[in-house]
Structure 1
């Protein structure tokens, strides 16, 4: 299994943004716990294509 590194930042308008460092994956959420789940879901969808 490969690893994907994400950069996590606070969004200017509130919440958090996670951006993959190598793949074109970006997601956002209101809190860190939700962001963790969003990252998992987004990665799954990205690689199903």
Structure 2
């Protein structure tokens, strides 16, 4: 595996929540900088040494609700 994709959404209490597609990896953070660190750490902890993907892609999802 050369790449792993995370879907990043706003957390229910602020911050960010990131979930990997196709793997059981989940993390959260208060800031973008902290999110980058937490995602890297989670990926490295999930895979055996040398088996982690070389690239981590973050896909940010932004949702807005409009009242009519």
Q: Which residue of 2 aligns with 1:23?
A: 23
CA RMSD of aligned residues (A): 1.5
Structure richer in helix, relative to its length:
1
| In structure 1, distance between residues paired with 2:31 and 2:5 | 19
Find the residue that maps to 2:47 and give its secondary structure: helix
> TM-score by structure 1 length?
0.89
Structure richer in strand, relative to its length:
2
Q: Which residue of 2 aligns with 1:45?
A: 45
Larger radius of gyration between Structure 1 and Structure 2: 2
Q: Select the structure with the greater relative contact order (CA < 8 A; seq sep ≥ 6).
A: 2
Total equivalences in the alignment? 49
> TM-score by structure 2 length?
0.66
Unmatched 5+ residue regions in structure 2?
Answer: 50-68
Find the residue that maps to 1:22 and give its secondary structure: coil
Unmatched 5+ residue regions in structure 1?
Answer: none
